[in-house]
Structure 1
């Protein structure tokens, strides 16, 4: 049977409007973009905007799809310049951003950790930035500064991820002054250079979500918390930060997450939490990080009066030795007994690898969870839900 050569010709692409091709391309890559990571509040597995590998993966995906056809190659430019990073190719980036239409397409930027002159130049050119990332300062590294020039307003900036250092503190203050619409701030401190001096922080009238990493020195933290934060609702910090005498009262916070990657156990000071966060409704922490204090008969008076939900996380642990499992089971039981003493708690959510404790302490855990359910508390997650 004769096979005609024309049978192997690649089918032509359908005749679609260019705007539709752009939407198809954007949908194929948007889940990998830096903005998708910061907007996804539901998933604990979101990409870390501070991780440059995630941004590189997005850029590779966009370039790969650009090879599908010449039309996609021409429209890929908008997607590539939506999320940029400042590196050794700055000159070509600056040339492209000299076109106002290209600069207006930039939505996120990963700044250089040493070329602050480049950083300021890009921030001055891109009026529609929604996300700025300042990565860790390298060791060793040469720092470059340019003339001190004012930043224009950044009215679209909502998310800021910043590893602060003595070199970047001034730029951070200028960005905060230029961004009255900032809603999410993730602030840490460099592990390679001395901490910055405390500086005045402007009012952040739109800030709703604040994450302070444990490395952040307390003068910088207290300086930030001293500024007006009228709508702050979600706050993440180390339990050690709560021990500072000058820690202020934050009456608008309704969700508190205690986070600290160090192996040290921190006391879970509910009385101090109740004082600092009088309207707290949800508390989140990892059982391997916090040690519950022994409750007194007056424990109810030491608990935030509106606290209704507690999320207990258990980190994923690989090849855990049996004695560690036993220790974790003991900690888990202590935290559940603490919750039994808090009669205002209506909902307990177990997150992470609670299944590893089943073999070591399944009966004890089920009994404690049964007591919680018996008083009307809803228990969710990790296979411990009540059977229906």
Structure 2
């Protein structure tokens, strides 16, 4: 019995195993690889006892795919058998990659890139590229190299962009014969930010709150605080579908100087965003826009956040209330204020509970 893979990679070391079980006489075995009448010997032996043996042979180099045959012939004085089985030899394309040092370039900058080719086992190869091309966003060829080879498996090249290079997507292409691989990069005018802004605001704001606290901080990319000033604008806008005469966004704007830590805290009055006339036409959210102006350069950076506006001005939890009570009897229990900002220690609030035909009142203060 002869065993081998059905598909074998072109040029690889292929494994073939031979087994012979309890022969009754001395037998000779010959194994050949047959292709278009050409026979390549792979294995030859004589044996009078059983054996199992595996060995490797060099698979032929093919382009694409090639179906060939492995022929086994076993002969003896009284025994003679021949067998042919098909095997597919297949070549796998190498993998070529192009990598740039960054994805976006300003006009006039230099594009550094490298090209590497690996086999199907991801082993890098020394490769000669028939052509390497740079094309602009109009498919115009602005750079070209011919018959360039990798050095220590990697081809490294660069291309200096024109200071007036048009903005858009550019393409790098590497050719190996008729086979081509491409990689895009972008040319765009941009300026890296000098500093970052953080804007701290609550996620929700109750209309019962007296003030809305905001905090703006600005730091350079290396961590130092930014000297300067901040302008914070908070607006509550009408619904887009509402058109009422006299209805305008309710806005409040304040400025502050950044302290030594690069931060500034500003408190807005919540009542500035409430309207007794147009309340139902205004959105239940506040948009906070903060800008920081750097001292000495007047460089401005901005940040925005949205706050949900809620009408929940307080919450009470009833405790020690019986599950059942008799109509007409006194209902005793405790009410716990969960919002200290509404039920202050200097006063009290009355909670009214209505039942069928009857009304009960609880006085809630700091002691109960």
Which structure would you say has the larger RCO, counting Cα contacts within 8 Å and 6 or more residues apart? 2
Higher helix share: 1
TM-score (norm 2): 0.22
More strand by share: 2
TM (norm. structure 1) is: 0.21
